[in-house]
Amino acid sequence: MIDVVVGFDQEQGMYKIYEPTTDTLFVTTNLGDSFLKLSEFLKEQGMIPSDILASNDIRYHIDSSTFIAMVESNVNLMKRLSQGPSSFMISDKKFGQPTGQLRDQIQQKKQNNNYKGKTNKRTKFKSGNFSKSSFGDSYRKFGGNGF
């Protein structure tokens, strides 16, 4: 079993992670970075086979400041996620359309063009290839003379 001591130094505003068997100390301002460094270190030392999240052989000793910081971070993340825009709204804005505007434009076009949802039933296929007549019909629709 690997013991890891995690603490927060309030005076310095730094997280400290200590692994006693190798006498290794990681000091960072971000707790997530500390755990990433610890995970890489333990893998490199051959102490764990994969990352720390997949290992049940680590026992963590966390001080109350670190525990509170972890809980607050998760609560703040949950609040941001619940109040933030949906992924559809974000992608809609990436394409330069305010939410719902594109849908309204499509509806308006359908009404203006008397859109009836017709489909062309004259498509002819022969063994996966277009026949001469179906190609000619299509070509005429796009301004060609046909065959």
Q: pLDDT tens-digit profile of 66-84? A: 898 889 888 988 888 887 7
pTM: 0.52
The CATH label, of 1.10.1740.10, 3.30.160.250, 3.40.50.720, 3.40.718.10, for the domain at 2-62 is 3.30.160.250
Contacts of residue 127, Cβ cutoff 8 Å, sequence gap at least 6: none
pLDDT value, residue 147: 47
pLDDT value, residue 121: 53
pLDDT value, residue 100: 60
pLDDT value, residue 82: 82
| 40/36 Cα distance (integer angstroms) | 6
- Contact between residue 14 and residue 27 where contact means Cβ atoms under 8 Å apart: yes
pLDDT value, residue 59: 94
Map out the domains of the chain as residue ranges. Answer: 2-62
pLDDT value, residue 80: 83
pLDDT value, residue 126: 47
Q: Which residues of the chain have pLDDT under 50?
A: 123-127, 130, 147
